[in-house]
Amino acid sequence: MSRLSFSFIRTLSLPALGLAVFLWGIAPASATEDTNAAKNQRQPVAQASVGSIEVDSLSSRDIPASEMGQVTSVSQLSDVKPTDWAFQALQSLVERYGCIAGYPDRTYRGNRAMTRYEFAAGLNACMDRVNELIAAATADLVKKEDLVTLQKLQEEFAAELATLRGRVDALEAKTATLEKQQFSTTTKLNGEVIFSLAGAYGAYDGGNLAFVNNTNAAVLFPPGTPVAALPSPTAGRDANITLNNRVRLNLNTSFTGKDLLITGLQAYNFGSGPSTAFPGFDNGASLAGTLGYGDVIFGNNSNVRLGYEPQFPTRNPQNLQPKGGNNSLELYKLLYIFPVADQLTAFVGTNAEVSDAFPSILPFAGEGQGALSRFATLPAAQRVSGGTSQTGLAAAAGVIWKISDALDFRALYGSVNANLPQNQGFPGTPLGSGIFNGSYVAAAQLTVKPTTNLDIGLNYAHSYHQINILGTGLSSSDIGAILFPANSLTDIANQGIKLDTLGVTAAYRLNPTITLAGSFSYIFSDLVDVNASTNFMSWLVGVHAKDIGQKGNSAGLIFGQPLARTAVGGLAVRPEDTKPYQLEGYFNYRVNDHVSITPGVFVIFNPEGFKDNPTAIVPVIRTTFTF
User: Which residues are 95's β-sheet partners?
Assistant: none
Higher pLDDT, 608 or 107: 608
Of 112, 147, 181, the last residue of a domain is: 181
Q: Distance between CA atoms of 523 and 500, rounded to whole angstroms? A: 6
pLDDT at residue 354 tops 70: yes
Q: Which residues contact 12 (CB under 8 A, 6 or more apart)?
A: 149
Residue 187 lies in a domain: no
Q: Give yes or no: residues 235 and 166 share one domain.
A: no
pLDDT given at position 10: 34
Q: Distance between CA atoms of 12 and 272, rounded to whole angstroms? A: 78
H-assigned helices in 367-524: 374-377, 380-383, 489-493
What is the domain count for the chain?
2
pLDDT at residue 94 tops 60: yes
Q: Give yes or no: residues 170 and 213 share one domain.
A: no
**147, exposed or middle or buried, with CB in 10 Å at 0-12, 13-18, 19+?**
middle
pLDDT given at position 162: 85
- CA 122, 125, 128: angle at the middle one, nearest 5? 150
Higher pLDDT, 101 or 141: 101
Given a contact cutoff of 8 angstroms between Cβ atoms, the answer to whether 459 and 505 are in contact is: yes
Q: Distance between CA atoms of 97 and 91, rounded to whole angstroms? A: 10
Mean pLDDT check: name the lowest of 37-41, 153-157, 163-167: 37-41
* Residue 136 pLDDT class (50, 70, 90 cuts): low
**Cα dist from 607 to 168, 199, 302, 562, 617, whole Å:** 65, 16, 9, 9, 10
* Residue 189 pLDDT class (50, 70, 90 cuts): very high
Of 147, 181, 215, the last residue of a domain is: 181
Summarize pLDDT for 594-608 with one digit per residue, the tens.
999 999 999 999 999
Q: Give yes or no: residues 295 and 409 share one domain.
A: yes
Average confidence (pLDDT) over 397-422: 96
User: Which residues are 595's β-sheet partners?
Assistant: 625
Which of 154, 213, 158 lies closest to 575, judged by CA?
213
Residue 190 lies in a domain: no
pLDDT at residue 105 tops 70: yes
Containing structural domain, residue 120: 3-181
Amino acid occupying residue 10: R
Where b means 16+ CB within 10 Å and e means fewer, 608-625 reads: bbbeebbebebbbbbbbb
pLDDT at residue 545 tops 70: yes
Q: Give yes or no: residues 210 and 165 share one domain.
A: no
Give the H/E segment covering residue 99. Answer: none
* Range picked from 85-89, 295-299, 564-568 for highest mean pLDDT: 564-568
Average confidence (pLDDT) over 107-132: 77
Q: Distance between CA atoms of 437 and 423, rounded to whole angstroms? A: 8
Residue 506 lies in a domain: yes
Residue 28 lies in a domain: yes
pLDDT given at position 285: 86
Q: Give yes or no: residues 152 and 213 share one domain.
A: no
**556, exposed or middle or buried, with CB in 10 Å at 0-12, 13-18, 19+?**
buried
Q: Which residues contact 87 (CB under 8 A, 6 or more apart)?
A: 74, 80, 81
Q: Distance between CA atoms of 213 and 300, rounded to whole angstroms? A: 10
Mean pLDDT check: name the lowest of 105-109, 169-173, 249-253: 105-109
Q: Give yes or no: residues 395 and 510 share one domain.
A: yes
Residue 193 lies in a domain: no
Average confidence (pLDDT) over 353-378: 95
Q: Give yes or no: residues 133 and 261 share one domain.
A: no
Neighbours of 151 (CB within 10 A): 11
Q: What is the mean pLDDT of the chain?
A: 85
pLDDT given at position 415: 95
pLDDT at residue 22 tops 60: no
Average confidence (pLDDT) over 379-393: 93
Q: Cα-atom radius of gyration of the chain, to the nearest Å?
A: 31
Q: Give yes or no: residues 416 and 483 share one domain.
A: yes
Summarize pLDDT for 259-307 with one digit per residue, the tens.
999 999 999 999 988 888 777 766 678 999 999 999 999 999 999 999 9
Of 154, 181, 208, the last residue of a domain is: 181
pLDDT given at position 137: 55
Average confidence (pLDDT) over 151-179: 83
pLDDT given at position 387: 87
pLDDT given at position 130: 74
Residue 191 lies in a domain: no
Q: What percent of the chain has pLDDT over 70?
A: 87
Q: Give yes or no: residues 284 and 321 share one domain.
A: yes
pLDDT given at position 142: 60
Cis before 562? omega within 30: no
Higher pLDDT, 68 or 25: 68
This prediction has a pTM of 0.75
pLDDT given at position 140: 55
One-character DSSP codes across 182-199: -S-SSEEEEEEEEEEEEE
pLDDT given at position 276: 80
pLDDT at residue 113 tops 90: no
Summarize pLDDT for 309-320 with one digit per residue, the tens.
999 999 899 998
* Residue 141 pLDDT class (50, 70, 90 cuts): low
Higher pLDDT, 39 or 217: 217
Q: Give yes or no: residues 411 and 514 share one domain.
A: yes
* Residue 38 pLDDT class (50, 70, 90 cuts): very low
Q: Give yes or no: residues 33 and 63 share one domain.
A: yes
Q: Give yes or no: residues 149 and 262 share one domain.
A: no
Neighbours of 73 (CB within 10 A): 9
Residue 67 lies in a domain: yes
Supply the CATH number for residue 324's domain: 2.40.160.10
